[in-house]
Amino acid sequence: MNFIHILVIAVAILTILAALALVLGSAKSEKAHSLWFLVAAIGEVIWAVSIAVFLSLGDGEFDFRVAPWLVKGVYIGAILMDTSILGYISWRYKFGKFLTSVFLIAGIALATIFIYDPSILYSSINLGGGTNSISIDMSRGFYIAYEIYFCLLIPAFCGFLIYRIKHTVDKKAKQGYLFFLIGLAVAGALSGVFDLIMPPFRYDLIWVGPLAIGLIILGFYFSILKFKMVSLNSSWLKVLSTIVIVASAFIVYLLLFHLVFSALFKVNNPSIQVLLLNFIMIAIVILLTPAFMEIKDLTRSLIMTKQIDLTYIVKKLSIIDRKKPNLKEISGFLSEHMHFSYVAFFVKDKLYVADDCKIPTELLSKIAKLPAPTHGVWQNATHLSVDAMKDADISRIAILTSASGEPMGQMIFGRPSSKNALDHKDLVEIAMIVGLMGTIIEDGGRKS
């Protein structure tokens, strides 16, 4: 089976899983309405799988016996899918119920005629030679009626989507329906070209339609989750949705890989070795993603010399051992990422600093006696000798307090390495880090 045909089947299976999750995750008042989405997904599976299998048939006796049933699945599945999409979009409205019923009756009539007399659509089934197809008989008029049916149906559900967008109050739901509208318009255009116009002349590209529609249905399901249009309360539904989203992203990647590979090497079907190498490289990238993200965050924190990367600092401080925090190591980390010449901790008459920084004992004793601030964390150091402060390279002193507000020590900041003066935003962010360090030191001082 061609690689692209496998992708078509995989997308179809994912649409069923997405539809099941939507139905089971919907509120009781919405379950009946969501069934339209499930039926549309069933139609998409019948349509897509029938196309993929038909295009993969050989020229054996069994293949010729199966082929007529697959052709029926191609055309009946498409009718079921598009009619159900119209029902999902428009059934809330009276005219929508009427129009859906009209298209449903017309679709049943077309399907019944085709099942009763398949020759009304095609004169022969051609298998083998790598280009399976049917010889569509345009003289009987059935295929023209089939084309007209879809040329009316696609604008109908697009029109109802536009009406629904205009009359939807919820902005998030409106965004979700807008995505669905754009996607259906694009996928409908592709289906019109590759599954209605081209089949009488070229049949091997009819897989484009189901692949495009399937991806749009999966994209709409993602928008349903993103914009909170449905609530998935049970854990297994969340797991199912995660599988659908991750697998969909993986399939999009494989589709892009197939298109690029085919364009570069003029090969329709990549070899097993190429696919295996591709899977191995994907696995390696996934495994290395946390390391890449850490390197990216580390690099950004280091090169952002004009500001403090508060998010990265808090993330790293939150994973240290609270029972035995190594204040000397933390001192080095903070001085590097907060962009000070040094950051020291003066706790229980002991100085913890990573750099080769020496603050005179006399100055430390005076720092320890500084009054606690009335508000905030910054202590008033105007009573200290200016020359002593300059020699020790001290710019600011903050008090460390416990959760109950009891003083526990002090953080002494050296000279800012990238700014002459700290602005209000810097001081607020530094104060947050001081507060977090007070909590960490307090936790480390407790006896387990």
Residue (of 343, 342, 392) closest to 365 by Cα position: 392
**330 with 317: CB under 8 angstroms?**
yes
Identify which of 7-16, 74-83, 246-255, 402-411 has the greatest average pLDDT. Answer: 74-83
Has residue 169 got a pLDDT over 80?
no
- When pLDDT is averaged across residues 410-425 and rounded to a whole number, the result is 80
Percent of the chain with pLDDT over 70: 87
β-strands 133-136, 350-352 pairing: unpaired
CB neighbourhood size of 314 (10 A): 13
pLDDT of residue 438: 87
CB within 8 Å of 447: residues ≥ 6 apart: none
pLDDT of residue 19: 84
Residue (of 76, 85, 16, 23) closest to 47 by Cα position: 76
Query: In terms of C-beta density within 10 A (0-12 exposed, 13-18 middle, 19 or more buried), how is residue 87 classed?
Result: buried
CB within 8 Å of 192: residues ≥ 6 apart: 150, 151, 154
Residue type (1 letter), 356: D
pLDDT of residue 448: 42
Express each pLDDT in 96-139 by its tens digit: 899 999 999 999 999 999 999 999 999 899 888 678 889 998 88
Residue with tokens 């700014």: 419
**370 with 397: CB under 8 angstroms?**
yes
pLDDT of residue 7: 81
Quote the CA–CA distance of 208 and 195 in Å, as a whole number.
8
349 against 27, higher pLDDT: 349
What token pair was written down for 200?
A: 């009488």
Could you tell me the pTM of the whole model? 0.66
Express each pLDDT in 328-344 by its tens digit: 888 888 888 888 888 89
Which helix (DSSP H) or strand (DSSP E) does residue 413 occupy?
Answer: strand 407-413
Residue (of 334, 339, 337) closest to 354 by Cα position: 334
Length of the chain: 448
162 against 304, higher pLDDT: 162
Quote the CA–CA distance of 203 and 259 in Å, as a whole number.
19
**Sequential DSSP letters for 119-171:** GGTEEEEE--TT--EEEE-GGGSHHHHHHHHHHHHHHHHHHHHHHHHHT---H
- When pLDDT is averaged across residues 57-76 and rounded to a whole number, the result is 90
Express each pLDDT in 179-215 by its tens digit: 888 888 888 888 889 989 999 888 888 988 888 888 8
Quote the CA–CA distance of 445 and 440 in Å, as a whole number.
9
Which one-letter DSSP state was computed for residue 321?
-
Distance between the two ends of the chain, CA-based, in angstroms? 63
pLDDT of residue 108: 94
Q: Which of these ranges, 199-213, 251-265, 361-375, has the smallest mean pLDDT?
A: 251-265
pLDDT of residue 411: 92
The dihedral over CA atoms of 238, 241, 243, 248, expressed in degrees to the nearest 10, equals -160
Phi/psi at 412 (5° precision): -110, 125
Which one-letter DSSP state was computed for residue 373?
P
What b/e readout covers 97-134, taking b as 16+ CB neighbours within 10 angstroms? eebbeebbebbeebbeebeeebeebbeebebeeeebbb
pLDDT of residue 395: 87
Mean pLDDT, the chain, integer: 83
* Chain center to CA of 87: 28
Cα–Cα distances (Å) from 338 to 303, 308, 321, 331, in that order, read 11, 5, 21, 10
